[in-house]
Structure 1
């Protein structure tokens, strides 16, 4: 993951309500020019200490960056501990166990037989934080040979080598139309953004043509809300999907500061945050 250059971060006050620390990532699914849609100021004077939402992509040195910004009077919306809780399966899984597939994690790869005995086959493999670009061959494991090959690649992959190895129960998800590729098959999966337990945006996760009806959305967001409330974080993303049997499960959690929007409307996310924060300020 890239290291953040503080000089490239722009601190703005959004609609005189929310501070945002912005850095361009050059990814259409992530970048959103707030200044084109909202009133944004860069006050030459500000309070000695403020809390800001970071929108500068994924970082490998969050704790260090947090301390550096805190010394300038800028507290990111998540402390380093909260960041880990939002980002790392090893931190969030114990809180949402039962809402998400059974998972085990290891600092070094366990034997294939021991994990297969507990979780069954196929296995779903990932890093404690993410997969490697959704590659199916490194994620969906049927045999010991596939497992050995995947763990060897994990040990050398620049994205995965620093993460704990996570083995998850493989749950069959409702498929959606998608062209054949080397990636994990697209499923009926959705991304949802939560601001202090309130849903501020939700939409399709995969870049293909599918959508939920009202009943499906209600059921999906009920699971996502339960996960968000258990985590009790300021700004979190919960990805949810429907199984082939019609149940809804949480796929994973992420720090919303570094999450792409998917098909979620970024305008709606920020407008809803502004509305919630304006109402909260008015009630104080």
Structure 2
């Protein structure tokens, strides 16, 4: 992940409702020009302090960015501790146990015998924050040979080498039509964005054609909402998927500030967020 310079971020007041710190990262699934669709003001004078949503991608120096901005009375909506809770599996897993596959994590790769005894084979391997571009060979581990081959690559991979190692119970997910690739097979998985406990956007995760019906959507969002309520964060992403037995489980969580939109309409998401923030402000105006 890159380092972000706060001085290069654009502070805007979106629809006179919510502050956003924007920095483009040149990814179509992440970047969205708010000023093309919404009223965006850049006032010379602003109230202090303010809370702002950061939309500048994933950063290795979130803690540094937070404190540098705080010195100017601009506070990102997630403190460094909240950012880690939303992003790092060892932080969010204890709160979501029972909603998500059994997981163990290690600062150094353990012997495969330890993992096999605790979780079994096959297992799902990932970094504490993310996979490396969804590579199946580094994620779906069916044997000791697979494990040690993946571990060697993990220690050299620029995305994975700085993360703790996470070993997860392998759960068969409902497949969806997709072309065979070297990536993790696409499944019936959906991303959802939650602002102050309210869903402001949800849609398919993988770039292939599949859809949920109303009953599936209701069940999926019920699990996602339960996870969002347990985490109790201002702006969080919950990814959920259906297993081959029909259950819904949490796949992972993320800080929504740095999460891509996947198939969700960015315009609809921001309009919903603005509407929810206006309701929130109205309720708390006299409190």
TM over 0.5: yes
Residue number in structure 2 paired with 1:51 = 51
Structure 1 residue ranges, 4+ long, deviating more than 2 angstroms after superposition = none
Residue number in structure 2 paired with 1:96 = 96
Residue number in structure 1 paired with 2:273 = 273
| CA distance in 2 between partners of 1:43 and 1:102 (Å) | 48
Residue number in structure 1 paired with 2:231 = 231
Aligned-pair distance for 1:117? 1.5
Residue number in structure 2 paired with 1:78 = 78
Aligned-pair distance for 1:48? 2.1
| CA distance in 2 between partners of 1:47 and 1:128 (Å) | 38
Is residue 2:26 matched to residue 1:8?
no
Q: What is the SS of the residue equivalent to 2:81?
A: helix
Aligned-pair distance for 1:133? 0.3
Residue number in structure 2 paired with 1:139 = 139
Aligned-pair distance for 1:248? 0.2
Is residue 2:62 matched to residue 1:62?
yes
Aligned-pair distance for 1:282? 2.1
Segment drifting more, 260-269 vs 247-256: 260-269
* Structure 2 gaps, min length 5: none
| CA distance in 1 between partners of 2:134 and 2:281 (Å) | 41
| CA distance in 1 between partners of 2:15 and 2:151 (Å) | 48
Residue number in structure 2 paired with 1:241 = 241
> Structure 2-normalised TM-score?
0.98
Residue number in structure 2 paired with 1:111 = 111
Residue pairs, 1:30-49, within 5 angstroms: 30-49=30-49
| CA distance in 1 between partners of 2:254 and 2:275 (Å) | 23
| CA distance in 1 between partners of 2:140 and 2:164 (Å) | 17
Segment drifting more, 178-187 vs 116-125: 116-125
The count of aligned residue pairs is 284
| CA distance in 1 between partners of 2:232 and 2:279 (Å) | 20
Deviations 1:20-74 (A, max 9, x none): 0000011000001000111100000001210000000000010011000001111
| CA distance in 2 between partners of 1:280 and 1:223 (Å) | 23
| CA distance in 2 between partners of 1:218 and 1:47 (Å) | 40
Q: What is the SS of the residue equivalent to 2:246?
A: coil
* Structure 1 gaps, min length 5: none
RMSD: 0.6
| CA distance in 1 between partners of 2:245 and 2:48 (Å) | 53
Residues 127 and 164, structure 2, Cα contact 8 Å, conserved in 1? yes
Aligned-pair distance for 1:281? 1.8
| CA distance in 2 between partners of 1:46 and 1:214 (Å) | 43
> Structure 1-normalised TM-score?
0.99
Aligned-pair distance for 1:7? 2.6
| CA distance in 2 between partners of 1:282 and 1:248 (Å) | 35
| CA distance in 2 between partners of 1:78 and 1:6 (Å) | 15
Q: What is the SS of the residue equivalent to 2:155?
A: helix
Q: What is the SS of the residue equivalent to 1:223?
A: helix
